Chain A
Amino acid sequence: MIDLRAWQLGFLKQARSDWETYQRIDDPTWPTCHRLHFLQMATEKLAKALLVVGDMPLDRITHSHAAFVKFMRVARKNHTLQKELGMTYSQITAHFNRLLPIAREIEILAPTLAQAGPNPEYPWFDNSGQILVPVDFSFPLMKLLQSPPGTQLLRYIGNFITDFEKLFLRRQ
């Protein structure tokens, strides 16, 4: 018998560690690729912490990397979150819709979703056949994260991870 609650806490604990590492190295002295790598991993595990108790088979969860955008889309329907943000479903939907393109950019950093393109882990060929290396690459996503919706998305990610029990576990 698989203890799904234990798996949930496992994903959450790792998400928190990834997020903490992201925050510690979110500094221009660190290569962008490493900062984005930890951000992508934190968001993926945050989403998986809710998938693992949602009846999705564990092997499909661990083999998938596209979970964060669907999490953001579905989390809008969580009444506890609506209440916490002081928004109706209609308002939170409109609000989150502005954040989803950036969430998708974070999600497709995962090498398996990057389609042999820019990712924070492995070198890739550019259009001219030149090998590009993550540590040398200037990720356009960094500018998006500094925009107002990007800043807001990062704040939400932090809140979701920090307040996970309050938002996604306990009855209010």
Chain B
Amino acid sequence: MSQNHQPIEAVVEKLVHEYFAVEESLEKIIWIKSPKPEIRLIEINAQTITTNDVMSFYFPPSDEIPYSMKLAEVTPAEWQKVLQNEIPLPVGWSLENRQEFSRELVAV
């Protein structure tokens, strides 16, 4: 069991800043809030390949990130399909409790 001393909001914010700083083609990051102590992020990136799936990969907690992470990357067109329910979200994920981060709103 990980020791989550850092609030999840602070960890997400840190990740979001890091990702926007490095990935120039990253347009938006969607934080899908979970009842579990885990971080679910969907990154909208024009440079990724199209698979017509929200492929969320699991990574366990580490010293730097004390939460398990489930990360997915989709193209802007795939994200539109997600919003229109044409591409399903991973099991148990919901758009209802989400927070969106755009490059313009995040000071890099």
Contact = CB atoms under 8 A, between A and B. Distances in A.
Interface residues of B, number: 34
Contacts of A77: 15, 19, 59, 69, 71
A-side interface mostly? helix
Interface stretch (A11-19, A50-58, A126-134, A144-152): A50-58
A57 B90 contact: yes
Contacts of B85: none
A60 B48 contact: no
Contact of A54 (B18, B51, B65, B90): B90
14 contacts: A51-B56, A51-B57, A54-B57, A60-B53, A73-B73, A74-B73, A77-B19, A77-B59, A78-B59, A79-B62, A79-B64, A80-B62, A89-B19, A172-B62
Given A66-B49, A70-B57, A78-B62, 15 more contacts: A51-B56, A54-B58, A56-B55, A57-B90, A71-B57, A74-B71, A77-B69, A78-B59, A79-B59, A80-B59, A90-B21, A168-B58, A168-B59, A171-B63, A172-B62
Interface residues of A, number: 32
Contacts, number: 96
